[in-house]
Amino acid sequence: MIIKKNSAGPTESHGPKTSTIIYGLRPVIEAIDGDTRIDRVLIQNGLSGPLAGELKGRIRDRNIPFQFVPIEKLNRLSKGNHQGVVALISPIVFQQAIELIPRMMEEGKTPLLLLLDHVTDVRNFGAIVRTAECTGVDAVIIPDHGTAQVGDDAVKTSSGALLRVPICRESNLKTVLNLARQCGMQIVAATEKGATDYLEVDFVKPTLLVMGAEETGISPELLKMTDVRAKLPIMGQVQSLNVSVAAAVFMYEVLRQRR
């Protein structure tokens, strides 16, 4: 079964503002089989049975993000008989970095890609994508698990930029970094642990910029794969900036250098 919750009609700049879910074991399985754009599937803790097993198999085969949640969360999302399963539908079509990066380099572009390592706050994610669109970022890359929901709230926070900037959802971020390097891109980590001032980085080069999670920063396995670790100067008592603010500073520095 499908529920559509309309908060407003279509607008010229943002597109339709609708939130769509699919609930019920068989309807979610059929949606997966029909290649519906699913952002993630929420499964009730402890759900079992033949259909539940079939659903979990489909999710694994298609590499669809999922999480186990209390039944109370599913009850809040659906007033109907959800049978322990709710699928959240994505408003966008995800791209593939393995196709996007080589194509941009073959076309002679000087791409700027932004990789968000487990940025989970929807408002931060939306704000980052909004700035990315304003500064000409070619694509935003996110992991397929442990990231902000790419739904209506994110689209609204991004002022519709999520509908314009290519978003790549990837199962292995290390593979993406290796691909970018093989294609001739430099990998720059934005981190307070860096030794290089962000103004000293040559952003005229093709660049993949890595921003870390709000609380933990860039994961160690990704950090050690970067070519440059750049930091923003901090003059006050607080030792770090909000990730969306830090990302904006870096993106506008890239724009400044390339202009």
The amino acid that residue 178 corresponds to is N
Residue of higher predicted confidence among 215 and 248: 248
C-alpha to C-alpha distance for 258 and 251, rounded to whole angstroms = 11
Would you say residue 23 has pLDDT above 70?
A: yes
pLDDT at 95: 92
116 has which bridge partners? 211
Q: State the number of CA atoms in the 13 A half-sphere of 221 facing the CB.
A: 7
**Could you read off the pLDDT of 130-187 as tens digits, one per residue?**
999 999 999 999 998 889 988 888 899 999 999 999 999 999 999 999 999 999 999 9
Confidence category of residue 17, pLDDT binned at 50, 70, 90: very low
Q: Which domains does the chain have, with CATH numbers?
A: 2-89 (3.30.1330.30), 97-258 (3.40.1280.10)
Helix (H) or strand (E) holding 187: strand 186-190
Would you say residue 6 has pLDDT above 70?
A: no
Q: Tell me the three state secondary structure of residue 4.
A: strand
